[in-house]
């Protein structure tokens, strides 16, 4: 391990930014294991659409990839629990955990130590609030938990109900000891136009590799069109194409634009994390980010 006072590395950034390649290089250099912080890579069979790139890992151990069935729910509570467990197990092997991903909410939950509890579905509660409008339910949620990290929880009825259930469960739960760790956080930064070009190139590559067939196979295996919509942009737009709602050229163009907009939202989320106290060491992605990371780690070690 690098140093007992820096017990993990975190590598974050927008989609198509090269996070996986950097994490693999760092894992080889620092004798590490990689923990994925991606809300879709947990699902089996969702490979090209989620950008797993498993062949790149070679001998590097990885965690929180392919641990849930497509069509099931894997939530923030489960990720935080599983991520902390993976960190502890890697430390026991005297290796360095490297958390790598672009799902901002997952990253923030483990870096800030969100107070999360496992909350089962509460049918009685749902019946009690069934007559409330979305706006009334939204107000009740915000009274309990004013800071909502995921804005879609305030828009879609089912997510709003679930967020309200969880907020009540968390408010009633006994406090727990926080997970204490000292990660060093890095971010990959690209010029906007270059990142958009990388997004389009990667999209074309994955379409050539069979991403449309991947979505067809998931649907044939029982994952509904509605569930595919929930699993993100690639699955949503390809599902629309397969249902005849979009022509192929329309699907590719709209999907590329949507991924570009998503990348902007990721960057906005990371800036918000910084405003709320997370220190992110930004790396120039065009200028050997691995060398930059190694220099910063060495400087950090010297300063201890």
19 is in an annotated binding site: yes
Q: Is 18 annotated as a binding residue?
A: yes
Residue 20 marked in a binding site:
yes
d(CA 142, CA 38): 27
Annotated binding residue 16? yes
Q: Is 222 annotated as a binding residue?
A: no
Residue 278 known to bind ligand: no
| Alpha-carbon gap, residue 250 to 294, rounded angstroms | 43
Q: Which residue has the tokens 């050229």?
A: 249
Confirm whether residue 103 is marked as ligand binding: no
What sections of the chain are H helices per DSSP? 19-30, 76-92, 104-112, 123-128, 134-144, 157-172, 192-209, 211-220, 225-230, 233-242, 248-275, 289-303
Backbone angles phi, psi at 145, to 5 degrees: -140, 85
Cα–Cα nearest to 46, from 211, 206, 187: 211
- Is residue 1 within 8 Å of residue 94, measured between CB atoms? yes
Q: Which residues define the annotated binding site for substrate? A: 15-20
- Annotated binding site for ATP: which residue ranges? 13-20
Q: Enumerate the known binding-site residues.
A: 13-20
């Amino acid at each position: 391990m690098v140093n007992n006072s820096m017990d993990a590395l975190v590598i974050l950034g927008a989609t198509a930014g090269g996070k996986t390649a950097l994490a693999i290089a760092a894992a080889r250099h620092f004798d590490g294991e990689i923990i994925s912080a991606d809300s879709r890579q947990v699902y089996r069979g969702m490979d090209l659409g989620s950008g797993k790139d498993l062949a790149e890992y070679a001998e590097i151990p990885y965690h929180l990839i392919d641990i849930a069935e497509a069509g099931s729910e894997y939530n923030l509570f489960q990720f935080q629990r599983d991520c902390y467990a993976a960190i502890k197990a890697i430390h026991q092997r005297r290796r360095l955990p490297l958390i790598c991903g672009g799902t901002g909410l997952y990253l923030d939950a483990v870096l800030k130590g969100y107070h999360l509890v496992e909350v089962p579905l509460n049918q009685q509660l749902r019946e009690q609030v069934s007559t409330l409008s979305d706006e009334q339910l939204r107000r009740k949620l915000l009274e309990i938990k004013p800071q909502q990290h995921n804005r879609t929880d305030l828009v879609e009825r089912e997510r709003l109900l679930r967020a309200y259930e969880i907020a009540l469960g968390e408010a009633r739960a006994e406090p727990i000891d926080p997970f204490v760790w000292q990660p060093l956080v890095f971010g990959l930064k690209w010029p906007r136009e270059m990142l958009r070009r990388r997004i389009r190139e990667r999209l074309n590559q994955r379409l050539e590799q069979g991403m449309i067939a991947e979505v067809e196979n998931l649907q044939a295996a029982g994952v509904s069109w509605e569930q595919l919509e929930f699993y993100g942009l690639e699955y949503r737009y390809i599902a629309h194409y397969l249902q005849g709602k979009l022509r192929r050229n329309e699907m590719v163009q709209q999907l590329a634009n949507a991924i570009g907009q998503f990348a902007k939202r990721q960057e906005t989320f990371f800036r918000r994390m910084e405003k709320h106290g997370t220190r992110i060491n930004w790396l120039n992605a065009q200028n050997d980010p691995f060398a930059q990371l190694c220099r910063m780690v060495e400087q950090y070690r010297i300063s201890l």
